[in-house]
Chain A
Amino acid sequence: MILCWVEPGPSGWEETTRGCLTMARGLAGRLGARLVAFTVGAQPDPVGLDELGRLGVEHVHVCAPDDPAYLPAAWGRWLAEAAGSGRACAVLVPGTDRGHEVLAHAAVRLGVAMVANVTEIGLDESGQPRRITRARWAGSVLEESVLPAGPTLASTAPHAVVATEVAVAGTPTVRVHPGAVDPADARVRLVEHIPPASTGVSLATARVVVGGGRGVGDPEGFVVLEQLASLLGGALGVSRAVTSAGWRPHTEQVGQTGTKIAPDLYIACGISGAIQHMAGCRSAKRILAINTDPAAPILAQASHAVVADVHQVVPALVEEITRRRANGGPDRPR
């Protein structure tokens, strides 16, 4: 069987989980194996169960400990036990914080390798799913490797697989197993969840992001970028050069070690386009780059570009939008 740890999202299963199940289903099809979902806590409700069925899951293994609170090491142990008792040839998880954490604990229990950010799983000469392709360097390089022994423990990169559903879906069978906690696995505890602050436009979900890099020059230079962002109902994002200089807080950083954004429009001002920055904004539908250097790497990745000084372009644009709004033009906010 192929075992897949599934993570609930705000509504339905989390998107990376849906992609992960889609990859797992493809693999199960090639191997003629069953696709089994693994979850800790309560049984999925009928809607959640139907969705798993549409994603190709045939059976759900529910581990039901007395306390359903997240316990990373224990969850990893239970996942490993489910993999062992079902003789899974592969265990897949979505590449989220919890997915990676649970899988790493499971890998230790099973005494096998774990491969993260996997984009493709192929079969080796013996027909085992041990030929791995995975993303390195924030997705700029792919690595091909073989695993020496099974089972294959892999996490799927977000957006690596587009989730699809099966044409004829069945309802998965469900079995509930008890989960006993080893005291050593209870040393790390989740003590509190703090919900998101509900103020302002969030960078991760903004439709428009105005980005500023080293080319903005100094902390004062961001005032006009913030004005533009607020005129467009968007958020301000910055490069690491800016946070390292202490000009703006790290919460505004876009990139490999910052926030990943996927706006309709990203206006990148005075940003060179290093791969670590682009790793955070590659999902933007349009990128408008404003840069004085016609050879800046970002120009080869942007959809539109202005080769000019950000200090001239952005204030002029802010003025133009403000003027149009004052004249009650067609773009007046509704």
Chain B
Amino acid sequence: MEIAVCVKRVPAPGGTVTLSEDEKSLDARNLGFTIGPHEECAIEEATRLAGIHGGRVTVLTVGPDEALEQLRAAMSFGADRGVHVRTEDGELGPVATATALAVAIRDTEWDGGGPDLVLLGNEAPDSADYQVGIRLAHVLDLPCLTGLKSLQVDDAAITGRREAAGGWDVFAAPRPAVVTVREGLNTPRYPSLPGRLRAKKRPVQTRTAVPDPVDAQLIRLRVVQIPRTQAELLATGPDLAGELADLLETWGVLA
């Protein structure tokens, strides 16, 4: 089985966020970069399915030179090869990203002519556009299942479920298909040292992407000022528990 997984390089902010001088991106000086949780699950699921059905996992990313780091990370989790679609001048919008991914998938060699399954996150952790998977599916003329937290793949069909009003909606589509997933689908393993060493030697193909005039044009970012409540500090004396229980009572949550 041929499986493609699309991952995005995103900053991983901690407690506070600051912006770059031009206000067009996060200040990256003190930030680490990562692959979002949904996409980590997509990689885990891809390697799990390749383990069961046999086959190959190809990971794709559209991003700056540094995004190679995330491709290598994905390969250390078990992906067999990578495609890096390079961008200049900042982040591409979702239309350009979906097009770049579709072109890269079309131009890649696959046993059987194309991937059996293309996995993405349901939404990117930073931009949360909620659309790259659906747009990609349309360009490739494949069905698209979205937001799945469980997935079964057999020879002809793909089935999976998405949370709906506290319960589940179960969706099905014929194979091949594009599927967007959410964290909770599985528990990703940490990469092993041999995995990380192997990842360095796996092949990466490089291409370039271009912006699309249909995408929105960024003017600037603004940090949301979260009202600082400045917590009322409770004394940690010997009767702290009594004080806390009194508070819970005043708040009406003890009854």
Q: Spell out A's residues near B (CB within 8 Å).
A: 10, 70, 72-73, 95, 97, 100-101, 104-105, 107-108, 111-117, 132, 135-149, 155, 184, 187-197, 202, 204, 207-208, 232, 234, 240, 243-244, 246, 250-251, 253, 256-258, 264-265, 272-276, 278, 282, 286-289, 296-297, 299-308, 313, 316-317, 319-321, 324, 330-331, 333-334
Neighbour of B255 across the interface among A197, A250, A317, A334, CB < 8 A = A334
Q: Spell out B's residues near A (CB within 8 Å).
A: 13-17, 19, 26, 36-38, 93-95, 123, 125-131, 134-135, 138, 141, 143-147, 159, 161-174, 177, 182-184, 187-188, 213-224, 226, 228-234, 236, 240-242, 244-245, 247-249, 251-255
Q: Are A193 and B170 CB-contacts (below 8 A) given A144-B219, A187-B143?
A: yes
Chain A contact residues: over half helix, strand or loop, or mixed?
mixed
A192 to B143, CA, bound (A): 18
Contact indicator B245/A321 (Cβ below 8 Å): yes
A122 to chain B, nearest CB (A): 11
Known interface pairs A278-B226, A287-B231, A320-B242; 5 further A-B residue pairs with C-beta atoms within 8 A, sorted by A's residue number: A143-B220, A189-B173, A275-B17, A307-B236, A321-B245
A68 to chain B, nearest CB (A): 15
Contact indicator A147/B162 (Cβ below 8 Å): no
A261 to B174, CA, bound (A): 36
Contact indicator B231/A303 (Cβ below 8 Å): yes
Give every chain A residue within 8 A of B165 (Cβ-Cβ). 10, 196
Contact indicator A112/B214 (Cβ below 8 Å): yes
Q: Are A113 and B236 CB-contacts (below 8 A) given A145-B216, A316-B241?
A: no
B81 to chain A, nearest CB (A): 27
B146 closest partner in A (C-beta):
A101
Neighbour of A324 across the interface among B159, B177, B245, CB < 8 A = B245
Q: Are A190 and B233 CB-contacts (below 8 A) given A113-B95, A117-B128, A250-B183?
A: no
What would 25 A/B residue contacts be, using CB atoms closer than 8 Å?
Answer: A97-B147, A97-B162, A101-B146, A108-B135, A137-B125, A138-B128, A141-B17, A184-B141, A187-B173, A187-B174, A189-B171, A189-B172, A191-B172, A193-B169, A195-B167, A234-B253, A251-B184, A258-B183, A264-B251, A264-B253, A272-B15, A299-B231, A300-B229, A306-B244, A320-B244
